[in-house]
């Protein structure tokens, strides 16, 4: 079975290098990376890797492709993934972000390879990394992982999180929907999560029951905050973000207006757990300890290159960001407010 990975990335080099090394080590036949902001130094590091294919993107590239304004970040991801899917260079294509790492890969890949022909995609549930609230941030990949909470168990986590529950969706601070291996060569539209059939029917999927996708959403406090600020700046529809918990996080960052204490309090409430919370979640089997260390794979993939996986060094690296001029930022804001108004009117008319 030939399988590949596609990702639109806008991350500091150490994370992208870990991502690439991890999936090459797992046996990916091909990795297609779209750099959402130009990064010539990173592209040069990746250039010698035969199985890695890099495309650098800019606002100008999107205009040349017929977009007056760059599409929203999710739409850019869709467009890029569909471009790779249509090329059909592998049997199965996995669309993930640069902070998502497949674990238990040998078993997962065996399951994917054994899927009957009628199966269009194989869904992977996430595990979200959380840090120990009482320990200073040290390295990028330390921490435990919490599981998605089903609707039937929502009430069980309310006492664990208290007021911070409003910032979570199904017990996670990031997206809890599946990511998927999608079978190539079919009339499917690959997406951020499960694909859709172009004839309007439902794609046939199977789920790996155990969560196997480690999600390091917000590598550090500064990285988490920077991403939310970037999302507000670039995603025109952030005020109408469909996940209420994530929308509440964005609103809190916007309302904080750069107040470091308020933003830090948000981070601690959604990205860390204290010992009492950890015990409560472990008792409910909602917190797992999964060993993960990509350093050996990175050393093998990038011999002779020293990569700093410390949090301080990571934070000292500027976060890539697509350059948007003032006119584009204003247009994005107006587009977002219009989207929010339409959504509000739709609810009222529907009621």
Would you say residue 269 has pLDDT above 50? yes
Instruction: Give CA–CA dist 343/240, Å, rounded.
Output: 7
Contact 160, 280 (CB under 8 A): yes
Would you say residue 325 has pLDDT above 70? no
> What per-residue confidence (pLDDT) applies to 321?
65
Point out the least confidently predicted range of 10-14, 29-33, 184-188, 334-338.
334-338
> What per-residue confidence (pLDDT) applies to 320?
77
Instruction: Give CA–CA dist 99/219, Å, rounded.
Output: 8
Would you say residue 330 has pLDDT above 80? no
Beta bridge partners of 288: 145
> What per-residue confidence (pLDDT) applies to 339?
45
> What per-residue confidence (pLDDT) applies to 334?
54
pLDDT band at 324 (very low <50, low <70, confident <90, very high): low
Query: pLDDT tens across 253-263, in order?
Result: 999 998 999 99
Contact 73, 11 (CB under 8 A): no
Query: pLDDT tens across 14-46, in order?
Result: 999 999 999 999 999 999 999 999 999 999 999
> What per-residue confidence (pLDDT) applies to 231?
86
Query: pLDDT tens across 193-246, in order?
Result: 999 999 999 999 999 999 999 999 999 999 999 999 988 887 777 888 889 999
Query: pLDDT tens across 271-323, in order?
Result: 999 999 999 999 999 999 999 999 999 999 999 999 999 999 999 988 776 65
213 or 330, which is more confident? 213
Instruction: Give CA–CA dist 106/27, Å, rounded.
Output: 10
> What per-residue confidence (pLDDT) applies to 71?
84
**What separation, in Å, do the N-terminal and C-terminal C-alpha atoms of the chain show?**
50
Instruction: Give CA–CA dist 196/18, Å, rounded.
Output: 30
Query: pLDDT tens across 120-154, in order?
Result: 999 999 999 999 999 999 999 999 999 999 888 88
> What per-residue confidence (pLDDT) applies to 80?
95
Query: pLDDT tens across 80-120, in order?
Result: 999 999 999 999 999 999 999 999 999 999 999 999 999 99
Where are the strands (E) in the chain, listed by range? 3-9, 30-35, 52-56, 92-95, 100-102, 121-132, 144-147, 179-183, 188-189, 196-197, 205-215, 272-273, 287-288
Q: State mean pLDDT over 338-342.
A: 48
Q: Phi/psi at 267 (nearest 5 deg)?
A: -55, -50
Would you say residue 191 has pLDDT above 60? yes
Instruction: Name the residue ranges covered by the structural domains of the chain.
Output: 3-335
């Amino acid at each position: 079975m030939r399988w590949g990975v596609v990702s639109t990335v806008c991350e500091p080099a150490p994370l992208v290098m870990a991502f690439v090394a991890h999936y090459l080590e797992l046996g990916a036949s091909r990795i297609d990376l779209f750099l959402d902001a130009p990064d010539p130094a990173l592209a040069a590091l990746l250039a010698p890797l035969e199985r890695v294919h890099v495309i650098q993107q800019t606002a100008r590239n999107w205009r040349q492709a017929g977009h007056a304004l760059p599409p929203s970040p999710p739409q850019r991801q869709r467009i890029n993934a569909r471009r790779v899917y249509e090329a059909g260079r592998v049997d199965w294509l996995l669309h993930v972000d640069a902070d998502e790492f497949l674990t238990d890969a040998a078993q997962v890949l065996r399951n994917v390879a054994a899927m009957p022909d009628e199966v269009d995609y194989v869904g992977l549930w996430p595990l979200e990394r959380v840090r120990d609230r009482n320990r200073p941030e040290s390295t990028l990949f330390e921490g435990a992982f919490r599981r998605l909470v089903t609707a039937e168990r929502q009430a069980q986590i309310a006492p664990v999180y208290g007021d911070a529950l409003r910032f979570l969706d199904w017990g996670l601070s990031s997206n809890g929907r599946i990511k998927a291996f999608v079978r190539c060569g079919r009339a499917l539209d690959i997406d951020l999560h499960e694909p859709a059939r172009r004839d309007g029917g439902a794609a046939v999927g199977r789920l790996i029951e155990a969560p196997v996708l480690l999600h390091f959403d917000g590598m550090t406090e500064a990285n988490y905050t920077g991403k939310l600020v970037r999302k507000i700046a670039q995603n025109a529809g952030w005020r109408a973000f469909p996940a209420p918990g994530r929308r509440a996080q964005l609103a809190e960052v916007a309302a904080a207006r750069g107040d470091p204490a308020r933003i830090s309090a948000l981070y601690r409430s959604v990205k860390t757990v204290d010992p009492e919370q950890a015990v409560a979640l472990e008792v409910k089997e909602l917190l797992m300890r999964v060993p993960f260390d990509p350093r050996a794979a990175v050393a093998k993939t990038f011999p002779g290159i020293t990569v700093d996986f410390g949090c301080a060094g990571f934070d000292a690296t500027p976060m890539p960001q697509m350059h948007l001029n003032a006119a584009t930022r204003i247009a994005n804001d107006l587009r977002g407010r219009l989207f929010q108004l339409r959504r509000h009117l739709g609810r009222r008319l529907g009621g």
